[in-house]
Amino acid sequence: MKLTLIHCANLSIFDQLKIEEALLRTSNENICLLNAGSTPSVVMGISGKEHELLNASFFDQNEIALIRRFSGGGTVLVDQNTFFATFIFNKEDLNFDVYPEPLMRFVEAPVQRALNLVKLKENDFVIGDKKCGGNAQMLTSKRALHHISFLWDFDQKNMRLLSQPKKMPAYRQDRSHNNFLTPLCTSYPEITSVENLLLQFKAAAEESFEIEKRFFIDNSEPEGKKQVAAWLSKEHRSATHLMRPGQIAALHSLK
């Protein structure tokens, strides 16, 4: 399959989601978008309810962005140690009926090429019985999007921002966030950084697909901003929105 590879730098998860939604709705290319790190944010699925998903007493003490994305799935806390991988496909280019589970299984192959210990369990990527990556999807009449947020590392105390979800996978067995999650850095010390994890995943994508086009998007550089503006300027429905701006601050500064 021919693929456009987009390697991002200095891109917040909010900007990433806006780009993904534009490409899903306006492009006819198969795409893999990779991004390492983000300004600290809590990202909810399109139907998520704040009062059910957030620990208000802790959340309200901290200036952190709250985002509602355009896709389904659960709530994630992201920061500078989160790695993001997104695949967008034309349904007609996939050789299977495009439903959530087959799409997840298709994406599992390049993930395992990059991270051999990582496997799908229910709707999560796991190492052993602990979650290291969350998945969310958006299917339209002609296109399919699957995005993943991998925990390269995380600060356990910051998980207090999220409440225990009412709906959870059976294998979680009601474990707390800190007992349920595992960072990739403990299983892959040789990778050394979230930026190197992106490079490893990029190599796996290049082995798994025929790369037809390449973009390097640095949101701090004029050329990167120009390309992003070109993608976003095409008329399309946009459901991604900022519910609370927050501030650009390291998560370790949370109270």
pLDDT tens digit string along 185-243?
A: 999 999 999 999 999 999 999 999 999 999 999 988 999 999 999 999 999 999 999 98
Q: What does the pLDDT read at residue 255? A: 41
Residue-averaged pLDDT of the chain: 93
How confident is the model over 156-179, as pLDDT tens digits?
988 999 999 888 999 999 999 999
Res. 93: pLDDT tops 80? yes
Coil, strand or helix at 111:
helix
Would you state the pLDDT for residue 246? 67
Q: Which domain range does residue 187 map to?
A: 2-253
Q: How many domains does the chain have?
A: 1
Tokens, residue 165: 């979800």
Strand order in the sheet with 130-139: 119-121, 124-127, 130-139, 143-151, 82-90, 31-36, 2-9, 210-218
Work out whether strand 130-139 and strand 143-151 pair parallel, antiparallel, or are unpaired.
antiparallel
List the CATH number of the domain containing 31.
3.30.930.10
pLDDT of 143:
98
| CA angle in degrees (0–180, nearest 5) for 68-69-71 | 135
Q: Are 30 and 89 in contact (CB under 8 A)?
A: yes
Classify residue 100 as exposed, middle or buried by CB count within 10 Å of its CB (0-12, 13-18, 19+).
Answer: middle
